[in-house]
A and B are shown apart, each in its own frame.
Chain A
Amino acid sequence: MILFDHVSKRYDNGTYGLKDIKLHIEKGDFAAIVGLSGAGKSTLLRSINRLHDVSSGEILIDGESITMSKGKQLRQIRRDIGMIFQQFNLVPRSTVLRNVLSGRVGYRPSWQTSLGYFPKEDHELAKQALARVNLLDKMHVRSDQLSGGQQQRVSISRALAQEPKIILADEPVASLDPLTTELVMDDLKRINEELNITIVVNLHSVELARKYATRIIGLRAGELVYDGPASKTSDADIMGIYHDSTRIPKKAAANL
C-alpha cells in the first residue's frame, strides 16, 4: 500500500531528517509512528503525500510513485490520501459543510468548484461523513464556533469525504484534552475497522499508540529503529526507541 524504498531526506545544512527508510505499510494497518520530538515523525508522514519532498529514494502508493509524479497525477494520488492535522486546519470562517465538501475538490474541475458548486452526490457524501463522527447537526454552523474536539472530527469528515484509501494523522490529539482525545481516536479506529482504510498516525503518547494501533513504528534521529505489531511491542522496545543518549539521560527514558 505505502512503500518506502530507501528514502532519505537531507537538509541543506547537511543534517538528515530521514535516513535510508525502508518500510512497507499494508492495507488495513493502523500504524502509529512514535519517537522523540525531532526524530522525523512529521517528515516521514508528510513525505507520504508529498507535503514534504524527499532527497533520495522513492515512495510508492499502491504501486504508483508519488515522489516522481507531477501536476494532475500527483493531485490524483493525493486525492486518495486524507490528512488530519494537529491544528485541524479548517477554514474558520466557512461552515462545517463547506469545509467537509472541500474534501471533494480533487474529484471536480476547478471552474465548477470555484463557483461553489458541488453535485448532489458530493453533498450526500459530506453528510454521511459528518454522520460518521456524529456531527451532522452542526452542518450549517461556522467551524470556528465548534470546540477543538469537534473541529478535529470535522477534519476527519473532510478526510472521509475524499473517499480515501489512506488517512494520515499528524499528532491529531496533541492539542486536545484526554476525553476528546479518546473520542477522536475511537473515530479513527472505527474508520479503520469498518471502512478498511489504512491509517498512519504520529503520536506523542506511547500509551495511545499501544491502545489503538495494530502496528508500531519507531523513529530515532531520522532512522527507523523499530517496526512491529503493537501487541508484541515490549517496554524494552519502547525504551529502545526513546533512548537517545544525545538528547535525554537514560533515567528519564526509563520513566516513559
Chain B
Amino acid sequence: MTAASIERRVQIRQWLTILLFIMLLGGSVMATDASLVDLLQNTDQMFMFLEKFLHPDWSYAPFILKPLLETVQMAFVGTLTGAVLAFPAAFLATTFVTGSKWLTMMVRGLLNMIRTIPELLLAVLFVAIAGIGSFSGVLALTVFTFGMVSKLFYEAIETIDKGPIEAMTAAGASKIQIITFAVMPQIMSHVTSYVMYAFEINVRASAILGYIGAGGIGLFLQRALSQLRYDRVSMIIITIFAVVICMDIINEQIRKRWL
C-alpha cells in the first residue's frame, strides 16, 4: 500500500468520525425534545430569575453559617471514612494481593454496583434507615465516596512501576511490607488528590442531600427555593462557592508543599 493511499484512508476515517458525531448529536436533540425556540421564548422568566439572583440577601448570611459548617463537616467525615474503607477494597480489586482473578472480578463487580447507585438514592435509603438528620447524609456520602475513590485507587495501583515490588519481594518483604514500601509511595500523590477531589464533590453533594432531610445546608436551600426567595438561594450558592474555592486553595497548597 502506498503512503498516499494510507493518507486517504486516514482522511476518510476522520470524515466518517465527524459524520457519526453529527448524527449522534442530531439524534440526541430529537430524542430529548431540545428546542432553542422554547429557550428563547422564555427569556423573560430567565431574566426575572437572574435579576433576583444578582441581588443576594447578604443579611441572610449569618443564619446559614451553622448549616454550612455542618455541610462541610458531613462532607469531611463522609469523605474520610469512605476513603479509608476504599483502601482495602482497592487492593482486593487488583490481582496483586490475592493473586486470584475471580476474586478481583467479583470485587470489581460489587464496586461497579455500588457506583451505579446515585448519591440521592443512597441518601433516601439512609434517611429511611437511620432517620432524618446529618448522620444519614454522612452515611450516604461515605458509600458514595467509597464507590468513587476505590475505582480511582485500584486504577492507580495498576499503573505503578512493578520494579520496586520486585525489589521488595527479593528482599524478603511480606505482602504488607511490599504495600507500604513499594506500592504506597507510588500511589500516595494520586490518592491525596483523588480524596481532595472527592471532598469537593461531597461538599456540593451534601448541599443537595439536605433537600431530602439528610442534614446540612440543603434544608435551607429547599426552604428558600419553595418560598421563591431567589435572593436567599443566591446567597446560599455564593457561600457554597466560597467554600469550594477555599478548599481548592488549601488543596493546591498541600500539593505544593508535601507532594
Chain A residues with CB under 8 Å of chain B are 49, 51, 74-83, 85, 87-94, 102-103, 105-106, 110-111, 113-114, 116, 155, 158-159, 162, 168
Determine the chain A residues whose CB is within 8 A of the CB of B170 once the complex forms. 49, 51, 78, 81-83, 168
Provide a sorted-by-A list of 27 A–B residue pairs whose CB atoms are within 8 angstroms. A51-B169, A51-B170, A81-B170, A83-B171, A85-B167, A88-B163, A89-B164, A89-B167, A93-B185, A93-B188, A93-B189, A102-B171, A102-B173, A102-B181, A105-B172, A105-B173, A105-B174, A105-B181, A106-B171, A106-B173, A110-B177, A113-B180, A113-B181, A114-B176, A114-B180, A155-B167, A162-B171
Are B185's CB and A94's CB within 8 A?
yes
Closest to B160 in A: A91
Q: Which residues of B contact A78 (CB under 8 A)?
A: 169-172
Chain B: residues with Cβ within 8 Å of the partner, total of: 21
Residues in B neighbouring A79, C-beta threshold 8 A: 171-172
A-B contact count (CB 8 A): 81
Query: Are B186 and A93 neighbours in the complex by a CB distance under 8 Å?
Result: yes
Give Cα distance in the complex from A79 to B169, angstroms.
9
Q: How far is the CB of B132 from chain A (nearest CB, A)?
A: 41
| Docked pose: A142 CA to B169 CA in angstroms | 22
Residues in B with CB closer than 8 Å to A158 are 167, 171
A113 and B178 alpha carbons, distance in the complex (Å): 10
Contacts of B167 in A (CB 8 A): 83, 85, 89-90, 102, 155, 158
Interface residues, chain B, with chain A CB atoms under 8 Å away? 161, 163-164, 166-174, 176-177, 180-182, 185-186, 188-189
Interface of B is mostly: helix
Whether the Cβ atoms of A89 and B163 lie closer than 8 Å is yes
User: What 10 A-B pairs are tightest by C-beta distance, nearest first?
Assistant: A106-B172, A79-B172, A89-B163, A78-B172, A89-B167, A83-B170, A110-B176, A75-B172, A105-B177, A105-B173
In the complex, residue of chain A having the shortest beta-carbon distance to the beta carbon of B182: A91
A71 to chain B, nearest CB (A): 9
- Chain B residues, CB < 8 A from A159: 171
Question: Which residues from chain A contact B172 at a C-beta distance below 8 Å?
Answer: 74-80, 105-106, 162
Tell me, rounded to whole Å, the shortest Cβ–Cβ distance linking B111 to chain A. 25
A103–B174 CB distance below 8 A: no
